[in-house]
Structure 1
Amino acid sequence: MDYLKYLLIPLLLSAFLTPFLKVVATRLEIYALENERTVHSGKIARIGGVAIYVSFVVCMAVFMKTDMTINGILIGGSIMFIGGLIDDMVNLSPKLKLLFEIAAAIVLMMVGKVSLDVIRLPLGITIDMGIISFLVTFVWIIGITNAVNLIDGLDGLAGGISTIILIVVACLSAIEGRMDIQTMSLILAGATMGFLIYNSHPASIFMGDCGALFLGFIISAISLLGFKSSTIMTLALPILLLAVPIVDTLGAILRRKLSGHKFSDADKKHVHHLLMQRFGQRNTVLILYVVTALFGFTAYIYLVNKTAGFVVLFIIALIVELFIEGSGMISKQFHPLLSVIRGVKKRFLIICHKFSKRSN
């Protein structure tokens, strides 16, 4: 029953700390800014990520044996947290925020010796990354860190999705015999769940960049540790688990590139914004929770039965693609699959019409 204490102790600690952070934020006037991307109104504290960070670090010190990898994760995570916290207080420029992200990633790779050296694919295919392993690892860390930060747009969204991802990773790690990854994942999941008590809609506190960037960074590190030496597909399962933030981030990059805007420019065409226009905030968060859980379940199915896993993944990916095109998430002109479907439908109707005329 050790896994319960790894989950519950950081949960209780985070739940205990969060109300105090609301008081501190109010006195220091550290509130979430309102802009064209946000959906909240009023003064809401935005340093709830402190509770997640403190709970995680304290429980890691208690439950995990330290080594160079753990040191790299904790030092890099602390750099990422500090950068996010400074941004929450004084609003750093995108370039300065990126410098903190770069520093944290380098520490993780150099001190923690975390890298993606080999990628294993189905059918026994193995790709040795060689000299580009450093670059691939770096891009993965920065990309996932920002992906989690980008989905932090609705009450409970980033925290809830991160918790689901971490619990799935903990389950997969248990199957793979990686108890260290399981413990780390459960500790971070518990710390996030304690904060979610106050962050669920209507939220009384936000995690801020200190929480979102820290969560994204640690999740990127855990995903590399959990799968880089596994017999299963190296990056495929982490990508599958992180499908929602990855799809949202890639969509934002393409959308802003096509429209001539900078990536740092905020907009309201993220997945959660598009869903919220139709389903409302609470239902949108629940929908994205379910989608993330489905991707996680697909990862589990793949471990049990690879063929079934691919079939389920194909179906989910097809639905996601249709949503992206139908919602205009990237652009109103981007609808390759829908164009094919419409073409096939049109051709089918023509054939049916000709067949009907011949019958008459």
Structure 2
Amino acid sequence: MLIVPFFISLGLTPLIKKYSVIAKTYAKENERTIHHGKISRIGGVAIYVSFIISMALFVKADMAVNGMILGGSLMFFAGLIDDLIDMKPLVKLAFEVCAAFILVAFGVGVDVLRLPFGITIDSIALSIVFTIIWIVGITNAVNLIDGLDGLCGGMSVVIFVVIGCIAIVERRMDITIITFLLAASTFGFLVYNAHPASIFMGDCGSLFLGFMISAISLLGFKSSTIVTLALPMLLLMLPIIDTLSAILRRTLKGRKFLEADKSHIHHLLMKQFGHRNTVIIMCGITTLFGFSAFVYMLNEMFGLLAIMIILLAVEIFIEKSAMISEHFHPILGICRRVLNRIKLIAKIIKEHKEKKSAK
């Protein structure tokens, strides 16, 4: 079953590359880009078409799945328009909100919000708002990491596989099949998108994948709540952290938060580790977050410990790389103050001992 979307995507991608030569749908070079030459930026067409064909062949869609496909299709075509004529950010945001409303209209969303300490919020209005924020946030988070060859596709494959495996544990074979079909469709495209890439997925690919990840997490964990949603959030932790850091960084600099820059996590890693290694590192970290999700399902204490260790490592990297600001270092600042306090206490004890021995 999985070889069908893989080979459809694998066969379609070269055809899209040839079409791009005729249609002149190339990725534009600017101060933020790292590629050179004429490279197609509509490779997401291969991912979308191979997935839709595979869904028609292997999945009997219900109302929720139809809503997911309809919303995902809207995001795909919105991204394709953006790839062709460069849509304004606010217009793109409007499409994302519309896609989220479609998903809600088809019955996909969080029904009840169960917060820590036994707090339960059973409000249709708040559930809809939370669902829309979730869809828009995750879609943009995935879109933002599409900055290196194979990065967005590679991380998406990892996320789909892990969510699919979690769905197996939860006995949701419908979610498993959908996520694996998406992973296979994306993997076929990755053959050409791996560094050095000969084609990019473009917004039609990244927006589609981002929407599908956010929608599937709601579809797969519908009875879910803040705590349950933390599991798929773990898989998306890097793009979520990257998005929040970008908003904070641009706000501190007095820039629009939708304004692009070259200070994302993958840009900073690439300066030190190179292109290919950065993609491997980020996919590896995503895999670790996925592993911690499984550990959490087996043992909450060890799972939380693993999560905190990974998050601490990411936070230290953000502070040392000045990703947000040169003055933003809360964790390192605390560590320095504690270390200085220990040194001061050690110095006082040493002086006290010296005075005592002198007597």
Normalization by structure 2: what TM-score? 0.95
Q: Which residue of 2 aligns with 1:150?
A: 144
Q: Which residue of 1 aligns with 2:209?
A: 215
1:282 to 276, 284, 288: 276
For residues 115-138 of structure 1, what are the alpha-carbon distances to aligned partners after superposition, in whole Å with 9 as ceiling and x for unaligned? 112234677665435421111100
Q: Which residue of 2 aligns with 1:345?
A: 339
1:90 to 82, 85, 91: 85
Q: Which runs of 5 or more residues in structure 1 are unaligned? A: none
What is the distance in 2 between the residues matched to 1:34 and 1:352? 56
What secondary structure, in the 3-state scheme, does the structure 2 residue paired with 1:37 have?
coil
Q: Counterparts in 2 of 1:36-185, with a 5 A limit?
A: 36-110=31-105, 112-120=106-114, 126-185=120-179
The residue type paired with residue 53 of structure 1 is Y
Q: Which residue of 2 aligns with 1:263?
A: 257
Q: Which residue of 1 aligns with 2:314?
A: 320
The residue type paired with residue 272 of structure 2 is R
For residues 329-352 of structure 1, what are the alpha-carbon distances to aligned partners after superposition, in whole Å with 9 as ceiling and x for unaligned? 111111111111100000111111
Shift of 1:271: 0.3
The residue type paired with residue 292 of structure 1 is T
Shift of 1:95: 2.0
What is the distance in 2 between the residues matched to 1:251 and 1:64? 38
Q: Counterparts in 2 of 1:6-25, with a 5 A limit?
A: 7-25=2-20
The residue type paired with residue 285 of structure 1 is V
Task: Note if contact 2:110-2:218 (Cα within 8 Å) is conserved in structure 1.
Answer: yes
The residue type paired with residue 285 of structure 2 is V
Task: Note if contact 2:108-2:222 (Cα within 8 Å) is conserved in structure 1.
Answer: no
The percentage of counterpart residues that share the same residue type is: 57
For residues 267-322 of structure 1, what are the alpha-carbon distances to aligned partners after superposition, in whole Å with 9 as ceiling and x for unaligned? 11100001111111111111101100000000010111111101111111111111
Task: Note if contact 2:72-2:99 (Cα within 8 Å) is conserved in structure 1.
Answer: yes
Q: Which deviates more, 85-94 or 129-138?
A: 129-138
What secondary structure, in the 3-state scheme, does the structure 1 residue paired with 2:244 have?
helix
Shift of 1:12: 1.3
Task: Note if contact 2:110-2:225 (Cα within 8 Å) is conserved in structure 1.
Answer: no
What secondary structure, in the 3-state scheme, does the structure 2 residue paired with 1:235 have?
helix
The residue type paired with residue 227 of structure 1 is F
Distance change (3 Å), C-alpha of 1:269 and 1:24: same
Q: Which runs of 5 or more residues in structure 2 are unaligned? A: 355-359
What secondary structure, in the 3-state scheme, does the structure 2 residue paired with 1:328 have?
coil
1:305 to 283, 294, 299: 299
What is the distance in 2 between the residues matched to 1:338 and 1:33? 39
Distance change (3 Å), C-alpha of 1:240 and 1:127: farther
Task: Note if contact 1:241-1:292 (Cα within 8 Å) is conserved in structure 2.
Answer: yes
What is the distance in 2 between the residues matched to 1:80 and 1:27? 24
Distance change (3 Å), C-alpha of 1:104 and 1:232: closer
What is the distance in 1 between the residues matched to 2:234 and 2:26? 34
